[in-house]
Amino acid sequence: SAAEKGGYDYFMLKEIAEQPKAVADTLLGRIDAAGLLTLDEVRIPVHELREIDKVVIVACGTAFHAGLIAKYAIEHWTRIPCEVELASEFRYRDPILGARSLVIAISQSGETMDTLMALRHAREQGSKVLAICNTNGSTIPRESDAVLYTHAGPEVAVASTKAFLTQLVACYLVALYLGQVRGTKWGDEIQAVIRDLSQISGEVERVLETMEPVRELARSVASKNTVLFLGRHVGYPVALEGALKLKELAYMHAEGFAAGELKHGPIALIEEGMPVVVVVPSPRGRSVLHDKIVSNIQEIRARGAMTIVIAEEGDETVVPYADHLIRIPATPTLLQPLVATVPLQVFACELATARGNEVDQPRNLAKSVTVE
Ligand code: AGP
């Protein structure tokens, strides 16, 4: 009913709007007054966390994209090698696991069969399993050694939005916590990032306030056949997520690429007027990445692409090459997906509407996939 949707036309719009609160709720009570993480709910003893020699993340769909981003954070802040694998592929590969492997299963519903089978396989090999889940008491957390709940509240729309942002927050918390208990050389940076993270919900709110041009842009490309998404570093999984949202909601051909891979094939796809969304990393921090992506934008534009550029406020170098420019607040590089994903969600939702599709219930899809 309209009341359930809180005055919004679709659950998806309501859930996009709820993201600042979902992010804040997922952080609530997990950072103490001294700026340290208190993840007591992760009932894996600290001495065992110190002994972990490998992290393996298993998930499907949007949750898998959260896992891809988590890998950058975990490897950077903990120096523990981290693999991310589609849950549906994982156990058939006979993965190398042991008692010192930490397997993280990410799932909004906690009922996804592929993810459940992957975690069962990991436990059979003697690995510890930590679930990151949004649904209290669901099967995946019940079968795990520990659980970190995301506090997004119930997500009704089939396309995942607020659950994704809270999965990212939970992944950052796990990465920072592992860094904290293991005492890596990134101590000061970890402290600074914890402070930035506690401010991030306000930044997500600011992004939501500036989405009208994104909706307009979506309507103007509604008759196109293909949209490509490019990113580097954590912007690459963001590109994959933008493309997945478009497939499931707009039923358009959409693909995400690592921008550096363009020249190895995908650049042949570029045609006159084809919309290409580019997620630009911050010019501060890893500036090499920024410069490389600016040349990628020039390359595709020279071949006729319509460039839709998502870039940090104050980044002026992209202006001459952006047919459309979407601004996001400055954040530390690793946290950028929390703000960069939001315009892509709004874009896909508006495209679905413009193309006359059912936003909350896309064809052929179920909210939780309980078959293998
Ligand atoms: C995303 O928009 C999806 N509908 C889908 O990819 C989803 O993220 C995936 O099926 C995993 O679901 P889960 O988080 O409930 O395990």
In degrees rounded to 5, what are phi and psi of residue 152?
A: -80, -15
Indicate whether 163 pLDDT > 90: yes
Poorest-pLDDT segment among 2-11, 76-85, 98-107: 2-11
Q: Ligand 1 centre and the CA of 108: distance in Å?
A: 7
pLDDT of residue 34: 77
**Close Cβ partners of 334 (under 8 Å, ≥ 6 residues apart):** 72, 73, 76, 172, 193, 234
Q: Ligand 1 centre and the CA of 44: distance in Å?
A: 26
pLDDT of residue 182: 86
Poorest-pLDDT segment among 67-71, 110-114, 249-253, 362-366: 362-366
Express each pLDDT in 286-321 by its tens digit: 678 999 999 999 999 999 999 999 999 999 999 999
Express each pLDDT in 186-200 by its tens digit: 778 888 888 999 999
The pick from 58, 62, 360 for probing ligand 1's pocket by mutation, whose C-beta has the most ligand atoms within 8 angstroms, reads 62
Indicate whether 368 pLDDT > 90: no
Count the Cβ atoms, other than its own, within 10 Å of residue 271: 11
* Percent of the chain whose predicted confidence (pLDDT) is above 90: 82
Is there a catalytic annotation at residue 367?
yes
Q: Say if ligand 1 is within 6 A of residue 234 CB.
A: no
266, amino acid identity: P
β-bridge mates for residue 103, sequence order: 56, 129
Q: What is the mean pLDDT of the chain?
A: 94
What average pLDDT does the segment 340-351 reach? 98
- Asked if 227 and 243 touch (Cβ cutoff 8 Å), the reply is yes
What average pLDDT does the segment 150-158 reach? 95
Q: Say if ligand 1 is within 6 A of residue 160 CB.
A: yes
pLDDT of residue 109: 97
Distance CA 102, CA 42 (A): 12
Distance CA 37, CA 195 (A): 11
pLDDT of residue 213: 97
What does each C-alpha distance from 336 to 69, 156, 359 come to in angstroms?
A: 10, 25, 26
Closest residue to atom 16 of ligand 1, CA basis: 107
pLDDT of residue 183: 81
Q: Say if ligand 1 is within 6 A of residue 138 CB.
A: no
- The SS3 assignment for 306 reads strand
pLDDT of residue 124: 95
> What is the position in ligand 1's atom list of the atom closest to the CA of 140?
16
| Sign of the dihedral through C-alpha 358, 368, 345, 4 | positive
Poorest-pLDDT segment among 28-37, 56-65, 250-259: 28-37
What average pLDDT does the segment 151-170 reach? 96
Poorest-pLDDT segment among 123-137, 170-184, 263-277: 170-184
Q: Say if ligand 1 is within 6 A of residue 369 CB.
A: yes
Distance CA 336, CA 235 (A): 8
Closest CA to 254 of 239, 268, 233, 265: 239
Q: Ligand 1 centre and the CA of 60: distance in Å?
A: 6
Indicate whether 2 pLDDT > 80: no
pLDDT of residue 206: 98
Q: Ligand 1 centre and the CA of 46: distance in Å?
A: 31
* DSSP annotation string for 97-126: --TTEEEEEEESSS--HHHHHHHHHHHHTT
The pick from 12, 68, 104, 108 for probing ligand 1's pocket by mutation, whose C-beta has the most ligand atoms within 8 angstroms, reads 108
Assembly ipTM: 0.98
The pick from 60, 111, 246 for probing ligand 1's pocket by mutation, whose C-beta has the most ligand atoms within 8 angstroms, reads 60
